[in-house]
Structure 1
Amino acid sequence: MDDQNKNLLLATLLSFVVIVIWFVLFPPPEKPVDPNAPVETSSTETGTEGAGMLPTTSADTQGSATTAEGSEAAETQAPRVAIDTPRVTGSISLRGGRFDDLRLKDYMTTIDPDSEMVTVLSPVGSENPYYALYGWAASGGLAADAVPGADTLWTAPEGATLTSETPVTLEWDNGNGLTFRREISVDQDYMFTVRQSVENAGDTPVTLRPYGLLRRHGTPTNLKKFFVLHEGMIRMSDGTLQEEDYGDLEDLDADDREGSMPADRVEVSESGWIGFTDHYWMSTLIPDGAFRSTAKYFPNPDIFQTEAVLPAQEVAPGQTVTVSTRLFSGAKEAETIKHYEDEEGVDRFIDAIDWGWFFYLTKPIFWVLHWLHSFIGNMGWSIIALTFLLKLLVFPLAYKSYASMARMKELQPEMEKLKERAGDDRQRLQKEMMELYRKEKVNPASGCLPILIQIPIFFSLYKVIFVTIELRHAPWIGWIRDLSAPDPSSILNLFGLLPYAPPDPTSFLAILSLGVLPILLGISMWLQQKLNPAPTDATQAMIFAWMPWVFMFMLGSFASGLVLYWITNNTITFVQQYAIMRGHGYKPDVFGNIRRSFSRKKVAEGKK
């Protein structure tokens, strides 16, 4: 086998390895869950708190199928208070006073205008039960049945509807001198305020601990499972952010009483919050002041739970005690969350968005993109404008690099002569090359500078496009209706001209289903590469020649917004580099080089 064939084989093997590794790190999107699939019902178990038992319900205890079916029926038949605001709809179950039915009016499950609203909270009996409970834990010898539990049937004014203008008050009397009330209000967005009070009409003082908890039955079925995205428990404790995925939570012990294996528990002295975060949605408990922040997992029957337990309250005879907590449940919109942080005192709430390790880049990149979108009105054009701004920012460094590359191009004939003289003596070739660089005052490593600068910017923009909800279902032009999703067009059906669909995006064959944007990306990278000096090593030169087309396939399944940025970046880089090289006396003839390469190929074929 001659050297050329060896080099070709090596380049092919390396390209294949790169593609495989890339798809391990960035797997294609999972196939959507079938909404018509049978629902698995699960029961839950409740944990204990050092100062008393948190509520237990027939729907939350392990039991037979009959018991589970009965509890689901009871949940369905329980009276409800409707929720209707400009942005959310749903209801609160009077059985336990549960927040277990919440949908977002502004967000659909797909880009189809007839698709269903996004569901954030769901009741027991649904496919993924997920709900919030509030209450009081009995303490100081008070019987557990003296406080409302998760099965307690609260009362509400007849026909009451919770709106942004009309709060709703739930009430329950234990029949032994204690009356519990729960006033619930909600703002124009996603923040609920729960004011819990207990009135003691008895003869003896009582001690209780108010709490709120979020309970999730089973691991969510729609997890993205991307290493760049956190989904699971999230909390802020006196300025310290903690994130744990569901796999980590499964290692926790549900029992956190003194003397036992503790759950993941933190004593918050001033301010904080705790809850669960999904890709675009989040539910968090936000107490006012100090509280005990706890995350638990119940292995049988698979329940994840976060708790916010407030300090014990002593209620004297004739006294009424009131505590206030908040519940955020909705979309992780940066501007909305920032409002709650700046105007309503929710400590570092903006960090609920997963900005990642490069937060010092992802945050400013997002806010600039958001600012551009505020007056451009289209996220696609805003990404293009952002790319221009980023290129302008790094232009001074890029200028030096492109000027050095122009000098490298001018030295190509000298380099070829050195290769002919050195022959197979690589050590001599390297020595003479370094002498030539020193003589001509050229730094061969300077051409890597733009690439090194682009790596953190590219990754940060990838995080912004993938993580932030502002890019979700954002259209650009024509067929690009969702910049957070891959280009839906495919070369396999001639971009929609042939009457059949491309391969399923979850299959490995989807890598061949290139859309318009990935093809433009490959072409833009190839054109840009034509301005760069070719490596002296034949194998390296062949690998570099393959890279535009390898990246074309690798990035084909990436979000359209990211591919759009890369195409714009390549195009601007090509224009800048071309102009700078001509300004330094080198006149690149990109298309002339292409024509000459085809001419040489035809001459070689004619000789054969």
Structure 2
Amino acid sequence: MESQRTFLFIGLMLVSFLLFQEWNNDYNPSQQIEQSAKQINNQTNGTNQSNDGNFVPSSSDDSIPSQIAQVSRSVISIETDVFTVKIDSKGGDIIEANLLAYPTEQNGDTAYKLLGEIDGQYFSQSGLIGKNGPDANAKGRPIYTSSQTAYVLNGDELKVPLSYIDDNGVKFVKTYIFKRGQYDVGLEYQINNNTSDTLSVQLYTQVKHTVAEKSSMTDQTYLGFAYGTTEDPYNKYDFSDIEEKNINVNSKGGYVSFIQHYFVSAWVPNQDEQNNLYTRMLSGNAAIMGIKGPQINISANTNHALTATFYMGPKDADALEALHEDLDLAVDYGILFFISQPLFSLLKWLYSILGNWGFAIIAITIIVKTALYPLTKAQYTSMAKMRNLQPKIAAMKEKYGDDKQKFGQAMMEMYKKEKVNPAGGCFPLLLQMPIFLALFYVFLESVELRHAEFGLWLTDLSAMDPYFILPVLFGLSMFITQKLQPMTATDPMQQKMMMWMPVIFSVFFLWFPSGLVLYWLVSNIISIVQMLIIYKGMEKKGIKVKS
């Protein structure tokens, strides 16, 4: 029993250390995507550009160059109620997106830059390749024209049309459709084939990002690409995977995305078409993941429209699932998603009632601890009974000496006679650890908790306690819990380890999200109250709790 408890505590400590490493990576300034001081003029001067036509042709389009010469172009600005966007007239790519509802710093005035020149390149690209696609022209990607250089959303919908006429007189209109309150942007290509020949084009959409560097040996909260197909709904494919091997997957529908902490960008094509998903490493330490639609033949003197949707915003599971049934998996709760998802739903419901995420965390802790009370009672009862059996166990050791077989048999007979389960104190702890891990990912992944205030000094429950008050209180509560628990360990080394546990865990929790530490502190306080109630009831029944 003693070794089992020690093993569980060591396991919990190891898990806490790994979680600390993962969370610390996510908040390490060298890992975060920060705003660049570069202005948009620097993006269009023709130096070190990412929106340079780095599309990936299919195997039948090997003649299409992967790099197109730079030409001067203009920038079109769009402002909606949720973000500001900049579109490059060359290629009609989205080269910048700032999320107005998400400041870079808490209570700051600068909107979070999701796309743009941010420690490298992060752009959304799209175009038409194939035999007659304007993006397949060896002279360079098309320069679109627009009737305005700036657009503002005033109603419920804003359309930004970009026009291009090729040498044959074919008119291509690339239109972005913005809607009030939505982070998904519609893309529509209208091809007007006023020639006497059949045209062949192929729509491609892709996300380009500079390869991210890691500053730790452990994996960070995921930063990289992900895609989904009918066979594989959610598959992470990071920069090292692309360096090793490019994907070339055909699927009906599907999606591609780039995932980071709290935010995601994703291309969702026509789900009724057979599409090709691909990746490619590019010069300049950048990588892309994209989708090519099927080849479309447009008869002479006819029009044809091609559509896709681009999402650029927070990890809102409901909004993502509305675009694609599997895209909500970008809110990555890991293997314990089946616990994390209902816990987060409960947490949101509590927040809707209490209006404060800190109070919601306290409320969910009370609910979880109440639900686990029968197991907690069984745990403490088993531990107290084990404590009472220690003198008998010591006598058995002296009686049987080195005969471990007879000692083990005598122990089992005694457990059976006394109706004691030696693992009874471990099982409830094992059940609580998945909940602890599931809540960790809820606090880590849920954008709703980003910059969420509680009160007093706790202004961001997704960040560590700036004054380390919660970790210290947690250590104190853990120390009180240990003092109240009957000590079953007789080995001096194990006793010393148990004594240092509050200090070790407090150190680990210094850098944990304050919301998670708040949960664990409240959990300990409730455990202390439950323990006092349980032990009082046991003493009334004549069960000795302490020596």
Q: Which residue of 2 aligns with 1:154?
A: 144
Partner of residue 233 from structure 1, selected from 214, 225, 229: 225
Q: Which residue of 2 aligns with 1:167?
A: 159
Q: Which residue of 2 aligns with 1:498?
A: none
CA positional deviation for 1:180: 0.4
Q: Which residue of 2 aligns with 1:603?
A: none
Render the CA deviation track for 1:229-283: whole Å, top value 9, x for unaligned. Answer: 322111111262211122112112xxxxxxxxxx3022122x3211211111111
> Using the alignment, how far apart are the partners of 1:223 and 1:109 within structure 2?
22
Question: Is the contact made by 1:398 and 1:449 (CA closer than 8 Å) also made in structure 2?
Answer: no
Q: Which residue of 2 aligns with 1:407?
A: 385
Q: Which residue of 1 aligns with 2:262?
A: 280
Question: Is the contact made by 1:146 and 1:174 (CA closer than 8 Å) also made in structure 2?
Answer: no
> Using the alignment, how far apart are the partners of 1:310 and 1:551 within structure 2?
52
Render the CA deviation track for 1:71-100: whole Å, top value 9, x for unaligned. Answer: 5xx66xx32222111111122121211111
Residues 554/116 of structure 1: CA separation in 2 closer, same or farther (3 Å cut): same
The AA in structure 2 aligned to 1:308 is: I
Question: Is the contact made by 1:47 and 1:53 (CA closer than 8 Å) also made in structure 2?
Answer: no
Partner of residue 200 from structure 1, selected from 171, 189, 193: 193
CA positional deviation for 1:224: 8.9
Residues 202/87 of structure 1: CA separation in 2 closer, same or farther (3 Å cut): same
- Alignment map for 1:105-254 (pairs within 5 Å): 105-111=100-106, 113-114=107-108, 116-122=110-116, 127-139=119-131, 142=132, 151-161=141-151, 163=153, 164-187=156-179, 188-216=181-209, 218-220=210-212, 227=219, 229-238=221-230, 240=232, 241-252=234-245
1:52 pairs with 2:64: no
> Using the alignment, how far apart are the partners of 2:248 and 2:203 within structure 1?
17
Question: Is the contact made by 1:534 and 1:541 (CA closer than 8 Å) also made in structure 2?
Answer: no
> Using the alignment, how far apart are the partners of 2:315 and 2:445 within structure 1?
10
Equivalent residue of 2:24, what SS?
coil
Farther off after superposition, 243-252 or 32-41: 32-41
Question: Is the contact made by 2:36 and 2:119 (CA closer than 8 Å) also made in structure 1?
Answer: no
Equivalent residue of 2:496, what SS?
helix
> Using the alignment, how far apart are the partners of 1:417 and 1:205 within structure 2?
95
> Using the alignment, how far apart are the partners of 1:27 and 1:538 within structure 2?
34
Question: Is the contact made by 1:160 and 1:168 (CA closer than 8 Å) also made in structure 2?
Answer: no
Question: Is the contact made by 2:128 and 2:135 (CA closer than 8 Å) also made in structure 1?
Answer: no
Partner of residue 325 from structure 2, selected from 347, 353, 367: 347
Q: Which residue of 2 aligns with 1:334?
A: 317
Question: Is the contact made by 2:135 and 2:142 (CA closer than 8 Å) also made in structure 1?
Answer: no
> Using the alignment, how far apart are the partners of 1:329 and 1:368 within structure 2?
26
Q: TM-score, normalised by structure 2?
A: 0.85
The AA in structure 1 aligned to 2:126 is: Y
Question: Is the contact made by 2:383 and 2:488 (CA closer than 8 Å) also made in structure 1?
Answer: no
CA positional deviation for 1:413: 5.5
Render the CA deviation track for 1:390-446: whole Å, top value 9, x for unaligned. Answer: 122222222222222233344455556667x56976848766554443332211210
Render the CA deviation track for 1:461-490: whole Å, top value 9, x for unaligned. Answer: 11111122111111112111111111110x
Q: Which residue of 1 aligns with 2:24?
A: 28
Render the CA deviation track for 1:33-67: whole Å, top value 9, x for unaligned. Answer: 4867999947675432234369768xx56xxxxx8
Q: What's the RMSD between the two structures over aligned residues?
A: 3.5
CA positional deviation for 1:175: 2.9
Q: Which residue of 1 aligns with 2:296?
A: 313
1:569 pairs with 2:523: yes
> Using the alignment, how far apart are the partners of 1:109 and 1:372 within structure 2?
27
The AA in structure 2 aligned to 1:32 is: P
Residues 589/486 of structure 1: CA separation in 2 closer, same or farther (3 Å cut): farther
Percent identity, please.
26
> Using the alignment, how far apart are the partners of 1:390 and 1:581 within structure 2?
21
Question: Is the contact made by 2:35 and 2:119 (CA closer than 8 Å) also made in structure 1?
Answer: no
Give unmatched runs, 5+ long, in structure 2: 1-5
1:483 pairs with 2:475: no
> Using the alignment, how far apart are the partners of 2:36 and 2:170 within structure 1?
46
The AA in structure 2 aligned to 1:28 is: N
Q: Which residue of 2 aligns with 1:537?
A: 491
Render the CA deviation track for 1:12-31: whole Å, top value 9, x for unaligned. Answer: xx99x969965895473464
CA positional deviation for 1:159: 4.9
CA positional deviation for 1:135: 1.6
> Using the alignment, how far apart are the partners of 1:538 and 1:136 within structure 2?
73
Equivalent residue of 1:477, what SS?
coil
Q: Which residue of 1 aligns with 2:3?
A: none
Question: Is the contact made by 1:408 and 1:533 (CA closer than 8 Å) also made in structure 2?
Answer: no
CA positional deviation for 1:173: 0.5
Q: Which residue of 2 aligns with 1:268?
A: 251
> Using the alignment, how far apart are the partners of 1:25 and 1:444 within structure 2?
34
Partner of residue 362 from structure 1, selected from 331, 340, 357: 340
CA positional deviation for 1:448: 0.6
Give unmatched runs, 5+ long, in structure 1: 1-9, 62-66, 253-262, 490-514, 594-608
Residues 364/280 of structure 1: CA separation in 2 closer, same or farther (3 Å cut): same
The AA in structure 2 aligned to 1:557 is: W
> Using the alignment, how far apart are the partners of 1:180 and 1:189 within structure 2?
26
Question: Is the contact made by 1:272 and 1:286 (CA closer than 8 Å) also made in structure 2?
Answer: yes
1:324 pairs with 2:318: no
> Using the alignment, how far apart are the partners of 2:378 and 2:16 within structure 1?
35
The AA in structure 2 aligned to 1:408 is: M
Question: Is the contact made by 2:227 and 2:236 (CA closer than 8 Å) also made in structure 1?
Answer: yes
Question: Is the contact made by 1:130 and 1:215 (CA closer than 8 Å) also made in structure 2?
Answer: yes
CA positional deviation for 1:310: 1.1
Residues 146/546 of structure 1: CA separation in 2 closer, same or farther (3 Å cut): closer
Equivalent residue of 1:445, what SS?
coil
CA positional deviation for 1:115: 5.1
Farther off after superposition, 155-164 or 355-364: 155-164
Larger radius of gyration: 1
Farther off after superposition, 128-137 or 154-163: 154-163
Residues paired across the two proteins, number: 518
Render the CA deviation track for 1:361-393: whole Å, top value 9, x for unaligned. Answer: 111111111111112111111111111111222
> Using the alignment, how far apart are the partners of 1:226 and 1:469 within structure 2?
23
Residues 539/160 of structure 1: CA separation in 2 closer, same or farther (3 Å cut): closer
> Using the alignment, how far apart are the partners of 2:348 and 2:223 within structure 1?
23
Render the CA deviation track for 1:103-144: whole Å, top value 9, x for unaligned. Answer: 000111222x23522111115xx64221122221122xx486
> Using the alignment, how far apart are the partners of 1:570 and 1:371 within structure 2?
24
Partner of residue 451 from structure 1, selected from 422, 429, 433: 429
